[in-house]
Amino acid sequence: MTKKHSKIKKANKRKQAAKFKFEPTDISELQDHYDLIIVGSGGTGLTAAIQAHELGLSPVILEKMSSIGGNTTRASSGMNASETSVQLDHKIVDSMDAFYNDTFIGGGKKNNPELLKFFTTHGALAIDWLASHGIELDDLTTTGGMSVLRTHRPSSMAPIGGFLVTELLKQVDKENIPLFTDVLVKKLLQDDGTIDGVEVEINGEKSTIKGDAVILATGGFGANPKLLTKYRPDLEGYKTTNSPGATGDGITLASAVGAKLVDMDQVQVHPTVQQDTDHPFLIGEAVRGEGAILVNKAAKRFVNELDTRKNVTAAIDELKENGAYLILDQGIRDRVKAIEFYDKVGLVVTGQSIAELAESIGLDAKTLEATVATWNKAVDDHNDTEFNRTTGMDRSIVKGPFFSIHIAPAVHYTMGGVDIDADTHVLNEDGQAINGLFAAGEIAGGLHGNNRIGGNSIAETVIFGRQAGQQAFKFIQNLDKSSK
């Protein structure tokens, strides 16, 4: 295929994507029984539903909000995976062991080894599964804590979350998988210790939906101040990047049937969130991954910008300056399409020169010029003598105009949740599986240890979403056999 034809093909795909608008299933079509009930319509729930449907089940997706996609729609950087053909196409030789090691170290060596092993050995399969559905993540970037380029994203460099949800919804639409919004699951139902349905509330009316298994894909509790401060009182008053629906409903549902909770005090604060406006906007890690630096009010760098989120957050907090400033140029902006959106909503300050940019944000011009010059030399030499940064050094800050975004830390992700095994069974306090109940995504605790690496949440939704769909199918298949 010629480059011209390739561009035409990509342009046509963009036009088709722009035309697609998913419509939730009309509530009048809600039935009282499905093979599989999936609670939550983020990346995990959508992936689980598609996988289960492909195995022959009749799943339903129940979403409490009017909007679809949950926190997944807010993800911007990409999806981590190792030993992929995409990496080899970019001449990146990686290993699953290196992926495991980076994530283990990044999580303070507190990650659940069983979950982490499954996660790091199934990323490439998840990338291939997406590609087989026409969802191609064929470009690479990097995030804090990763030693090589393994954060996969679309070649359009569109923010991963909205892209993934839209593409998965196309599959849901194509396969006629029912997806209902404004349906609040209030209770998990049990029969002789096995989960066999849910009690729901629709427009104030309660009803029951039966199912052979239930998958909880409800996300975390980053938008629930009461629950956050219960486990982390030190985070009282912090703003959040989470969607309004991330209130920990699934954790409450699972706890009520005896599920064990793990790592509930492990809450990630994202270092780069623009929060000078009424609504906080997460500035994705890809901005730093493509070469941006952070400076303080003295116009100097103060941290390895691609250290783990936990360490970068700590460095910003230690400044006691109400945040810091991301500094980047047009070359970096060209590599992160989300910046166009950030600019559109008024988060970006522009200067035709470094000096002009400095004056616009109240920093000393000569100091910022010197800081950028020192950084550019570090990039040229591939040797950051100041902070030992080794990744995100592929381009200097030299191409005008130049840009700045003021950022400060905000609550972003909850690493804790219900205890699961690598088969996504929800476990009780004795470590035994609760029959018929599965969980995947941010609702589950243990995978990330005390710090989640950027790009691992989207990977988790697809990897464990697929696993939940497969294991629910296996469970239901065994039920059918035992009833014959």
The catalytically annotated residue of 74, 150, 309, 395 is: 309
C-alpha pair distances (Å), 37 with each of 62, 108, 240, 325: 7, 35, 29, 45
Neighbour-count burial for 343-364, b at 16+ CB within 10 Å, e otherwise: eeeebbbebeebbebbeebebb
Give the integer Cα–Cα distance in Å for 105 and 97: 12
Residue 309 appears among annotated catalytic residues: yes
Residue 156, number of CB atoms within 10 A of its CB: 15
**C-alpha torsion angle, residues 68, 232, 427, 461 (rounded to 10):** 30
Return the DSSP state at 342. H
Determine phi and psi for 186, rounding to 5 degrees: -100, -25
Give the integer Cα–Cα distance in Å for 99 and 96: 5
Residue 405, number of CB atoms within 10 A of its CB: 25
Contacts of residue 258, Cβ cutoff 8 Å, sequence gap at least 6: 428, 429, 434
DSSP string, 144-159: TT-SS--EEE-TT---
Q: Which residues pair with 197 in a beta bridge?
A: 189, 210
Give the integer Cα–Cα distance in Å for 20 and 28: 23
Gyration radius (Cα) of the chain, Å: 23
CB 306 within 8 A of CB 288: yes
Active-site residues: which are they? 309
